[in-house]
């Protein structure tokens, strides 16, 4: 049985578009050379020149040799999106390999960056060269908006093809009717907010290098830091407040941010998803803080300081830490797991299932209950705010929810088989699939993860960032090719 029919022409289209993405990434990899030069790290030039040269030339060869391939259709875009994150992460792993890390660790660090998960297998971050730390932060900054989005803004021409790639990366909201204009505006907003983040961090007391890298990773809701202790290294309330502002902003839809920045100051308050997002932050912060106080984990003010910061870091899927979550009470851990799964807003840099989808499914459940209580001829319309939700959208979200929960629980079961207790196993799965970062595992155990555990986490990070469907499309097409060969 062939699950998804693919022929040589389809393969040509996918390879051509992969070549275009490699070309863009190849040029981006030249930027850390500036940091290497300023920091006197001449010995690391090759760590970026070699993969850059390789990516650029492979990209040029694929684009030129397959230039006559047919126009990209949605199925091609889905497959390219799935492959792109894996291949780009492979190219991005080279600086870590060059520095001396194992292949699995290098690939883990790279894909964790590009998917903005923020899990790290580097035990001594502060010993890493600045050029590699800059590249590490940049992978999250690129991944925050998306590898495909970068490719679209730099190389794509056809509006129809741009729309297909936009859909393939699980994006639906638009700032303007044209996808090309939407992509351009998203990058403009992203650049402006990144600059503001650098300025705020610098004013709060960070050095310029740390301000740049932390602005990259806070706004992208990635969470990589230049210090082993993450944000707690600074022990600064001012820096924590700036981080909260950037994380919360990163978790809001670019469409809403555009409206706010263009003069509609109440756009965020009118948006049902954003309102629910802030309510979740408030309830989560209170629940965790009060639990920490009741368990006498910290004094009252410190409990609120840590509770609010970690709640924001988790629901935005940034994953910065000021405390070791493994030592927190089980009630707080359960709240954190729920916030991990929820994630931020649709159309943001955050991961997770997304607040709007949860709202829609909850309202759909309420609607179905009401149908049983009302007369048979009563019409109950599903709306979020003033926007009616089509049945097709509800079915799609229900399917995504089922797959998301299946992967969450399936991943947790795999980690249980690897010897972790239930809560730790679920935290590993929830954190990876929702692209969050922190887990309920002590540092000494985390840095002794087996390669098998790391590979499972890599798969979940990749599937989570693609929001499942493109990842499944790639897996299905792979098996279809195998089955067609057998026949």
The per-residue pLDDT for range 33-50, each reduced to its tens digit, is 999 999 999 999 999 999
d(CA 249, CA 135): 23
Helix, coil or strand: residue 116: coil
d(CA 356, CA 276): 8
The more confident residue out of 69 and 285 is 285
pLDDT tier for residue 479 given thresholds of 50, 70 and 90: low
What are the CA-CA distances from residue 374 to residues 38, 40, 265, 384 (Å)? 71, 73, 39, 20
Q: Answer yes or no: are the C-beta atoms of 113 and 224 closer than 8 Å.
A: yes
Per DSSP, helices labelled H in 348-421 are: 355-373, 391-417
d(CA 322, CA 9): 51
d(CA 447, CA 469): 31
Structure tokens at 61: 């060869």
Q: Answer yes or no: are the C-beta atoms of 464 and 435 closer than 8 Å.
A: yes
**How high is the pLDDT of residue 390?**
82
For residue 361, tell me if it sits in a domain.
no
pLDDT at 215 over 70: yes
Structure tokens at 235: 């022990």
**How high is the pLDDT of residue 156?**
62
Mean pLDDT, residues 145-173 taken together: 71
For the chain, the 3-state helix, strand and coil shares in percent, each to the nearest 5, are 70, 0, 30
> Considering only 156-160, 241-245, 438-442, which range has the smallest mean pLDDT?
156-160
pLDDT at 167 over 80: no
pLDDT tier for residue 5 given thresholds of 50, 70 and 90: low
For residue 359, tell me if it sits in a domain.
no
- DSSP state, residue 387: E
| Residue 416: count of CB within 10 angstroms of its CB | 16
d(CA 115, CA 434): 10
**How high is the pLDDT of residue 377?**
63
Q: Are β-strands 383-384 and 387-388 bridged in parallel, bridged antiparallel, or unpaired?
A: antiparallel
What DSSP string describes 186-213?
HHHHHHHHHHHHHHHHHHHT--HHHHHH
What DSSP string describes 13-50?
HHHHHHHHHHHHHHHHTTTHHHHHHHTT-GGGHHHHHH
pLDDT at 2 over 70: no
Express each pLDDT in 314-325 by its tens digit: 999 999 988 889
pLDDT at 90 over 70: yes
> Considering only 127-131, 320-324, 380-384, which range has the smallest mean pLDDT?
380-384
> Considering only 1-15, 19-33, 232-246, which range has the smallest mean pLDDT?
1-15
**How high is the pLDDT of residue 378?**
61
Q: What percentage of the chain has pLDDT greater than the value 70? A: 93
d(CA 121, CA 126): 13
Q: Which domain holds residue 94?
A: 9-342
For residue 231, tell me if it sits in a domain.
yes
Contacts by 416-420, CB closer than 8 A, 24 or more apart: 418/450, 418/452, 418/453
**How high is the pLDDT of residue 309?**
97
pLDDT at 475 over 90: no
For residue 418, tell me if it sits in a domain.
no
Helix, coil or strand: residue 331: helix
Mean pLDDT, residues 41-68 taken together: 94
If you count them, how many residues does the chain have? 487
The more confident residue out of 281 and 483 is 281
d(CA 261, CA 244): 19
For residue 350, tell me if it sits in a domain.
no
> Considering only 120-129, 200-209, 362-371, 393-402, which range has the smallest mean pLDDT?
362-371
pLDDT at 180 over 50: yes
Contacts by 175-179, CB closer than 8 A, 24 or more apart: 175/254, 175/255, 175/258, 179/152
For residue 327, tell me if it sits in a domain.
yes
Tell which phi-psi region holds residue 40, choosing left (phi > 0), alpha (psi between -120 and 50) or beta.
left
- DSSP state, residue 353: S
pLDDT tier for residue 487 given thresholds of 50, 70 and 90: low
pLDDT at 200 over 60: yes
Helix, coil or strand: residue 252: coil
Segment of 32-41, 142-151, 163-172 carrying the highest mean pLDDT: 32-41
pLDDT at 3 over 70: no
Q: What percentage of the chain has pLDDT greater than the value 90? A: 67
pLDDT at 305 over 90: yes
pLDDT at 144 over 50: yes
d(CA 7, CA 313): 45
d(CA 322, CA 231): 6
pLDDT tier for residue 25 given thresholds of 50, 70 and 90: very high
**How high is the pLDDT of residue 175?**
76
d(CA 60, CA 58): 6
For residue 386, tell me if it sits in a domain.
no
pLDDT at 474 over 90: no
Biggest CA-to-CA distance, the chain: 76
Mean pLDDT, residues 351-365 taken together: 92
- Nearest by Cα to 439 from 448, 430, 451: 430
For residue 220, tell me if it sits in a domain.
yes
Structure tokens at 403: 């797959």
Q: How far apart are the first and last CA of the chain?
A: 8
Mean pLDDT, residues 269-273 taken together: 91
Number of domains in the chain: 1
d(CA 61, CA 239): 46
Express each pLDDT in 419-453 by its tens digit: 999 999 999 999 999 999 999 999 899 999 999 99
């Amino acid at each position: 049985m062939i699950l998804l029919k693919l022929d040589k022409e389809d393969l040509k289209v996918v390879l051509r578009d992969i070549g275009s993405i490699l070309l863009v990434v190849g040029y981006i990899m030249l930027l850390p050379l500036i940091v290497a030069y300023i920091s006197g790290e001449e010995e690391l030039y090759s760590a970026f020149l070699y993969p850059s040269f390789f990516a650029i030339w492979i990209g040029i060869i694929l684009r030129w040799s397959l230039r006559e391939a047919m126009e990209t259709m949605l199925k091609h875009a889905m497959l390219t999106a799935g492959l792109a994150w894996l291949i780009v992460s492979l190219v991005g792993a080279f600086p870590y390999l060059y520095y001396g890390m194992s292949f699995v660790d290098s690939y883990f660090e790279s894909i964790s960056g590009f998917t903005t998960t923020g899990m790290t297998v580097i035990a001594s971050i502060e010993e890493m060269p600045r050029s590699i730390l800059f590249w590490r932060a940049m992978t999250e900054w690129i991944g925050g908006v998306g590898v495909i989005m970068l490719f679209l803004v730099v190389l794509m021409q056809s509006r129809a093809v741009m729309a297909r790639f936009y859909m393939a990366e699980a994006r639906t909201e638009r700032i303007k009717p044209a996808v090309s204009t939407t992509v351009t505006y998203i990058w403009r907003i992203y650049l402006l907010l990144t600059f503001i983040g650098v300025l705020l961090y610098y004013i709060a007391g960070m050095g310029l290098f740390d301000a740049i890298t932390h602005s990259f990773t806070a706004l992208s809701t990635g969470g990589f830091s230049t210090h082993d202790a993450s944000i707690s290294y600074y022990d600064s309330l001012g820096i924590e407040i700036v981080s909260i502002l950037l994380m919360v902003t990163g978790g809001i839809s670019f469409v809403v941010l555009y409206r706010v920045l263009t003069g509609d100051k109440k756009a965020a308050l009118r948006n049902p998803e954003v309102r629910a997002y802030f309510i979740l932050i408030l309830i989560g912060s209170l629940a965790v803080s009060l639990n920490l106080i009741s368990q006498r984990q910290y004094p009252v003010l410190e409990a609120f300081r840590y509770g609010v910061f970690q709640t924001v870091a988790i629901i935005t899927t940034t994953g910065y830490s000021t405390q070791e979550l493994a030592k927190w009470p089980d009630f707080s851990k359960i709240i954190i797991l729920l916030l991990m799964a929820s994630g931020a807003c649709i159309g943001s840099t955050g991961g997770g299932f997304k607040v709007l989808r949860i709202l829609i499914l909850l309202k759909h459940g309420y609607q179905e209950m009401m149908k049983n209580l009302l007369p048979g001829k009563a019409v109950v319309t599903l709306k979020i705010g003033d926007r009616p939700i089509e049945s097709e959208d509800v079915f799609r979200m229900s399917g995504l929810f089922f797959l998301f929960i299946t992967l969450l629980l399936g991943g947790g079961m795999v980690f249980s088989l690897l010897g972790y207790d239930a809560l730790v196993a679920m935290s590993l799965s929830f954190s990876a699939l929702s692209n969050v970062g922190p887990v309920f595992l002590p540092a000494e155990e985390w840095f002794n993860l087996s390669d098998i555990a790391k590979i499972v986490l890599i798969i979940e990070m990749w599937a989570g960032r693609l929001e499942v469907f493109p990842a499944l499309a790639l897996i299905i097409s792979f098996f279809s090719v195998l089955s067609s060969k057998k026949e």
